[in-house]
Amino acid sequence: QNLVTILGIPFINTTKHQFEKIIHERISNHKNTFVVTANPEIVMYANDHQDYAALIKSADYIIADGIGIVIGAKILKHPIEERITGYDLFTHLLNWGNHHHKSAYFVGAKPEVIKKLQKTVAEKYPQLTIAGTHDGYFQDDQEIVADIQVQQPDMVFVATGYPKQEQFIQKNRHTAKGLWMGIGGSFDVLTG
């Protein structure tokens, strides 16, 4: 991996297209994969919270979501090829999953948003299997995780905001083989 480290956080340095190809291949080969989409807020939070920094460094890939990261890298004279936002990667993977008959599980956002998301995804990406959905306001993750384990989705999208989404993924990522990715407010954006 070609990495660029900013405030101790190692970012993958590829173009968006190259990164998409890496992820397609890993999903197709059922490789367990944790992607962190890090914006400047996340980097600053990690800088103040060592446990969170260690957690995100345990991911397979940290991508530069946020122009601030790309500009910072340039100033530090270790430029990053391209910004890759969580939202862009999310919608790209829905589209790719639709064309390749993959399945996805969605955890996060308010009950009415996740309900709307289910409808939007079914309409826009009819060949993508919705393995399951759950809103992001739960006390206990056991039931959700048990369902993910049964469903074995190719992709698990967790949109409960940082640091919760990354904590959920690190704890549970080994229950399904595919991609696990935290994507903040993306369900609200897609349905909004």
Collapse the DSSP code of 105 into the 3-class scheme (helix H, G, I; strand E, B; otherwise coil) and give the result: strand
x-marked contacts with ligand UDP along 3-42 as a string, rule CB under 6 A: ----------------------------------------
Contact with ligand UDP (CB under 6 A): which of 85, 169, 184, 190? 184
Q: Which of 19, 61, 105, 162 binds ligand UDP (CB under 6 A)?
A: 162
Name the residue whose CB lies closest to ligand UDP. Answer: 136
Per CB under 6 A, the segment of 20-28, 88-96, 117-125, 179-187 that binds ligand UDP is 179-187
Query: What is the DSSP code string of 2-68?
Result: -EEEETTEEEE---HHHHHHHHHHHHHTT--EEEEEE-HHHHHHHHH-HHHHHHHHTSSEEEE-SHH
State yes or no: residue 160 binds ligand UDP (CB under 6 A). Answer: yes
Q: Scanning the structure block, which residue is given the tokens 């590829």?
A: 14
When binding is defined by CB under 6 A, the residue of 1, 5, 44, 137 that contacts ligand UDP is: 137
- Residues 49-108 touching ligand UDP, rule: CB under 6 A, are 108
Nearer to ligand UDP, 53 or 102 (CB): 53
Q: Which is nearer to ligand UDP, 18 or 118 (CB)?
A: 118
Cα radius of gyration (the chain): 16
Q: Which is nearer to ligand UDP, 18 or 91 (CB)?
A: 91
Query: From CA 46, how far away is CA 8, in angstroms rounded?
Result: 9
Alpha-carbon gap, residue 49 to 80, rounded angstroms: 24
The residue within the footprint of ligand UDP, chosen from 20, 82, 141, 188 (CB under 6 A), is 188
Query: 3-state DSSP call for residue 184?
Result: coil
Report the alpha-carbon distance of residue 100 to residue 103 in Å, rounded: 9
One-letter amino acid of 130: I
Residues found near ligand UDP in the complex (CB under 6 A): 108-110, 136-137, 159-162, 164, 184-185, 187-188
